[in-house]
Amino acid sequence: MANEFQCSVVTPTESVLEESVTYASFPAWDGQQGVMKGTAAFLSKLGAGSLTLQSTDGSSREFLLVGGFAQMQDDVLTLLADEILGAGDFELAEAEKNLAAAAQAVTQVDEGSSSPQRRLEIEREQQRAYAMVQMARNR
């Protein structure tokens, strides 16, 4: 198909997928970013949120993507993700529980004297949990 490009998703422990797609939407650090064949080369930091891949047959799949980097070069999109989960790998109740725990952890950090690194870890967990809730509610 003329409008397809290669997409690879890799985590620190495994190669998750490698396939031809016609469209990809992923969470950049500053908002959702969409990519099609012919997109100019870029390197972007990833945030936490929904990764949607539209296959050449018209179907689409959704994943929760957390952290890492995205690179587009020569019609190849490579997502080097810290973490990826299938949209069906978690339920709304679990996601809401994780969000409540992350919010509680932020409160505890604010009350105590934690290191800046610990604060960043907790904020990242809160972003991950919030993205999980949003995705679960949209299913």
Tell me the whole-structure pTM to 2 decimals: 0.83
Confidence of residue 112 (pLDDT cuts 50, 70, 90): low
**Cα–Cα distance for residue pair 28/23, rounded to 1 Å:** 15
Domain with 31 in it: what CATH number?
2.60.15.10
Predicted local distance difference test score (pLDDT) of residue 77? 98
31 and 83 co-located in one domain: yes
Confidence of residue 1 (pLDDT cuts 50, 70, 90): low
* Domain enclosing residue 125, as ranges: 90-138
**Cα–Cα distance for residue pair 128/95, rounded to 1 Å:** 9
Q: Per the structure, how many domains does the chain have?
A: 2
Give 69-100 pLDDT, tens digit per residue: 999 999 999 999 999 998 788 888 888 998 89
Paired tokens of 20: 């031809």
Phi and psi at residue 102, to the nearest 5°? -65, -40
83 and 30 co-located in one domain: yes
Predicted local distance difference test score (pLDDT) of residue 26? 97
81 and 99 co-located in one domain: no
78 compared with 108, residue with greater pLDDT: 78
83 and 39 co-located in one domain: yes
In the three-class reduction of DSSP (H, G, I as helix; E, B as strand; rest coil), residue 14 is classed as coil
Confidence of residue 16 (pLDDT cuts 50, 70, 90): very high
